[in-house]
Amino acid sequence: MTTMTRERLLSEAEYLMRAKGYSAFSYADLSKIVGITKASIHHHFPTKDILGEQVVIQAFSDTQRQFEQIEATAKSAEKRIAAYVDLFLQSHRASLLPLCCALSADTANLPQNITEQTSCYFDMQIAWLTKIVQGGVDAGEFFPHTTPSDMALIIINLCEGASVVARATARPEVFSNNLKYINLLLNPLPFGE
């Protein structure tokens, strides 16, 4: 298989997983989109489990590169958090759920290898958010009433949840509201203000 065909299969499989869910797409769908036979897909990805796992591994790497880009271009922790929230808005604008969100909704039907990779993908995002929040605390930017790791969980929960709500209600403003709430949690007003 050429690298281009492999990349196209992974890209289209990710799109289908984010648009329809893991259980709702098949090699027949991929065959039509990519223009190769199902047998050719099976030759390169013998099972859907293997294909799904490779999609998550590729998305993991892509997200790490996005995080590196965010850190290179957004110098403050606040701007880095805003850029993270914007990744979810971009997915919404493309009518896609975030990959972890789409897979989590399908957990009962996922093979163990994909469940494990999805968990690793979440853990990587939580670790990155924890690092960003800790950096903001250390720089005097953030003053949360909780630990950076708990704040990271709150941020990812708000973003993943907003993705579901925004999709179901067609209300992209959920993301800007999310950012306001995240900023309030990172910099809470003293009582009485």
Which positions ≥6 away from 57 have C-beta within 8 Å?
117
CATH number, domain at 94?
A: 1.10.357.10
Counting as low any pLDDT under 50, the low residues of the chain are 1
Q: How many domains would you assign to the chain?
A: 1
At residue 80, the pLDDT reads 98
> What is the Cα–Cα distance from 79 to 144, expressed in whole angstroms?
16
- Could you tell me if residue 17 is inside a domain? no
At residue 190, the pLDDT reads 64
At residue 191, the pLDDT reads 54
Range of the domain at 150: 49-186
6-45: per-residue pLDDT in tens? 899 999 999 999 999 999 999 999 999 999 999 999 988 9
At residue 23, the pLDDT reads 93
- Could you tell me if residue 14 is inside a domain? no
> What is the Cα–Cα distance from 47 to 70, expressed in whole angstroms?
35
- Could you tell me if residue 26 is inside a domain? no
